[in-house]
Amino acid sequence: GLSYTWIFNNDTLSLRDDGRRFVSQETGNLYLAKVEPWDVGTYTCVVSNREAQQRAWGPPTPLTLRSDGVMGEYEPKIEVHFPETTYAAKGSAVRLECFALGK
């Protein structure tokens, strides 16, 4: 299967358990909550396939803070991406993802 890692300013992004950062292993998306000045920099996604022993790098994406402090209005959006059926062995862990975005 595929795994996703994010590079921040040329170093592997540390996903500390601070509750602000999350990488979806389903989509590869990086989610940042409550952006801080130290989050400013360049982010690059790396997709790895262990079985094929290959990696692909996405384009670098800069994150900057707006100086006016205005981010605009975003209507709430809830995304739920579950397969129609999810199978799991008894006693195993299952991870389901749900995100709410908005202001």
Phi–psi pair at 17, nearest 5 degrees: -80, 55
The domain that holds 48 is classified in CATH as 2.60.40.10
Query: Is 60 exceeded by the pLDDT of residue 72?
Result: no
Q: What is the mean pLDDT of the chain?
A: 78
Residue-number span of the structural domain to which 84 is assigned: 2-101
CB 5 within 8 A of CB 48: yes
How sure is the predictor about 53, in pLDDT bands with cuts at 50, 70 and 90? confident
**Total domains present in the chain:** 1
CB 23 within 8 A of CB 7: no
